[in-house]
């Protein structure tokens, strides 16, 4: 079988592929006998029909080129190329409206309200509704904390023009600022083919709320607390069926894991933080490859 590992154009802009998570993964899978090639989803020269399976790994610019990305998904579907994760899941997960579906299903999320495109900005109601003095505002289609910012009550007047401009183009979400982010950190649980692999706790730098490493965040490998792992597994079982990988990001409020993101498109998998992570990924991939008859000789 021939596999494509789906990435993006600027994969080399952050340094050599060697040593990166994508590079380490390609090397490991190749050493195990997997025929896999790194391919840019947006490159028109790629012959996708030569591949039996396309594995999403790092299409990190999809939200900047969203119409083109959606058109590419349509093309892959029309060509009949199987993907991991499935295209239907990718479409669902690309828009953070999915959080409201998770909540409707009775599973806990960080409290969330939808700010619809083209509507007037009335942030005061959300301070009252969420009983908070700070709101987090983020786009429904985004990644890497793009256009994500924090607003306090006394900043509403100054922020409103900026938010109104952003809302002309797309939907946003409003959430209460959760102090657990700064006080305790954000949990990430990694699953491969529905099976738990490893977890870590991500911490923001002092004075920030963003846990991404490029904003100064740090990661801390952890043993998964049983009660949190059970809740994360429930989310994966219900919303990540048929997925090669899933990352459950959340915070702990009382004894409850409140979902912040269910990452099913292009999450960093923190493969370097656990000695069995690469093997866990490989075994899951092999299991799922066995379900796909090779169509390319």
User: pLDDT tens digits for 234-253?
Assistant: 999 999 999 999 999 999 99
Among 88-102, 187-201, 280-294, the range scoring the smallest mean pLDDT is: 280-294
Count up the domains in the chain and report the number: 3
CA pair distance 101, 184, nearest whole angstrom: 27
Domain carrying residue 193? 180-287
CA–CA dist 216, 220 (Å, integer): 13
Q: Are residues 43 and 134 in the same domain?
A: no
74 and 118 housed in the same domain: no
Contacting residues for 92 by C-beta, under 8 A, at least 6 apart: 98, 264
- Structural domain contains residue 39: yes
Shared-domain flag, residues 121 and 195: no
Q: Are residues 133 and 45 in the same domain?
A: no
pLDDT grade for 181, boundaries at 50, 70 and 90: confident
Same domain for 132 and 34: no
- pLDDT level of residue 144 (50, 70, 90 thresholds): confident
Same domain, 136 and 224: no
Mean of pLDDT over the chain = 92
Residue 151: pLDDT band (50, 70, 90) is very high
Which of the four pLDDT bands, split at 50, 70 and 90, describes residue 13?
Answer: low
187 and 238 part of one domain: yes
* Banded model confidence at residue 217, pLDDT cuts 50, 70, 90: low
pLDDT in tens, 66-92: 999 999 999 999 999 999 999 999 999
Comparison of pLDDT for 258 and 185, the residue scoring more: 258
Residues 73 and 152 in one domain: no
pLDDT band at 150 (very low <50, low <70, confident <90, very high): very high
The verdict on residue 295 lying in a domain is: no
- 272-275 long-range contacts, Cβ below 8 Å, gap at least 24? 272/21, 272/24, 273/198, 273/200, 273/219, 273/221, 274/197, 274/198, 274/221
Q: What is the spatial distance between Cα 55 and Cα 34, in angstroms, rounded to a whole number?
A: 12
For position 293, what pLDDT does the model report?
58
213 plus 230 within the same structural domain: yes
pLDDT band at 145 (very low <50, low <70, confident <90, very high): confident
For the chain, the DSSP string reads -EEEEEE-GGGGTTS-STTSHHHHHHHHHHHTT-EEEEEETT-TT--GGG-SEEEE---TTTTTSHHHHHHHHHHHHHHT-EEES-HHHHHHHTSTTHHHHHHHTT--BS--EEE-TTPPP-THHHHHHHT-SEEEEEESS--TTTT-EEEEGGGHHHHHHHHHHHHTTS-EEEEE--THHHHT-EEEEEEETTEEEEEEEEEPPTT-----GGGT-EEEEEPPPHHHHHHHHHHHHHH-TT-SEEEEEEEEETTEEEEEEEE-SS----GGGSTTHHHHHHHHHHHHHTTS-----
Burial readout 135-159 (b: 16 or more C-beta within 10 A, e: otherwise): bbbbbbbbbebebbbebeeeebeeb
pLDDT band at 297 (very low <50, low <70, confident <90, very high): very low
Q: Pairing state of beta strands 195-203 and 218-222?
A: antiparallel
Looking at the fold, whether 42 and 79 belong to one and the same domain comes out as: yes
Q: Which residues are within 8 A (CB) of 8 and not within 5 positions of it... i.e. 6 or more apart? A: 40, 41, 42, 58, 59, 60, 61, 62
> pLDDT at position 241, please?
95
Residue 12: pLDDT band (50, 70, 90) is low
Rounded to whole angstroms, the Cα distance separating 133 from 115 reads: 18
In a domain, 90, yes or no: no
Average pLDDT, integer, range 16-24:
81
Q: Is residue 94 part of a domain?
A: no
Residue 208 has pLDDT above 60, yes or no: no
Instruction: Among 177, 192, 213, identify where a domain stops.
Output: 177
Residue 102 located in a structural domain: no
Q: Are 140 and 64 in a shared domain?
A: no
Residue 251's alpha-carbon distances to 178, 180, 184, 213, in angstroms, are 8, 7, 8, 18
> Could you tell me if 137 and 225 lie in one domain?
no
Tens digits of residue pLDDT in 33-60: 999 999 999 999 999 999 999 999 999 9
- Domain boundary residue, one of 133, 149, 177: 177
Average pLDDT on 11-24 reads 74
pLDDT at position 97? 97
């Amino acid at each position: 079988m021939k596999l494509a590992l789906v990435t993006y154009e600027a994969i080399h802009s952050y340094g050599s592929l060697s040593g990166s998570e994508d590079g380490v993964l390609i090397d490991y899978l190749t050493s195990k006998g997997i025929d896999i090639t790194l391919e840019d989803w947006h490159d028109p020269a790629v012959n996708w029909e030569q591949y039996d399976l396309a594995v999403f790994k790092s299409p990190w610019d999809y939200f900047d080129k969203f119409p083109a990305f959606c058109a590419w998904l349509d093309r892959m579907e029309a060509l009949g190329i199987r993907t991991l994760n499935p295209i239907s899941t990718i479409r669902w997960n690309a828009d953070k409206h999915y959080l409201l579906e998770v909540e409707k299903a009775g599973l806990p999320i960080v409290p969330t309200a939808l700010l619809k495109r083209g509507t007037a900005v009335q942030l005061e109601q959300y301070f009252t509704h969420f009983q908070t003095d700070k709101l987090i505002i983020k786009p429904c289609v985004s990644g890497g904390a793009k256009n994500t910012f924090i607003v306090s009550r006394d900043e509403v007047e100054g922020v409103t023009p900026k938010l109104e401009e952003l809302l002309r183009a797309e939907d946003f979400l409003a959430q209460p600022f959760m102090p657990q982010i700064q006080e305790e950190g954000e949990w990430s649980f990694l699953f491969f083919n529905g099976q738990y692999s490893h977890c870590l706790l991500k911490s923001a730098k002092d004075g920030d709320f963003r846990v991404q490493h490029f904003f100064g965040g740090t990661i801390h490998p952890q043993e998964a607390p049983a009660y949190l792992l059970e809740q994360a597994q429930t989310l994966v079982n219900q919303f990540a069926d048929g997925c090669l990988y899933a990352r459950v990001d959340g915070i702990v409020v009382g004894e409850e894991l409140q979902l912040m993101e269910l990452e099913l498109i292009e999450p960093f998998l923190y493969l370097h933080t656990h000695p069995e992570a690469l093997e866990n990924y490989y075994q899951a991939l092999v299991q799922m490859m066995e379900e796909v008859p090779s169509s390319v000789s």
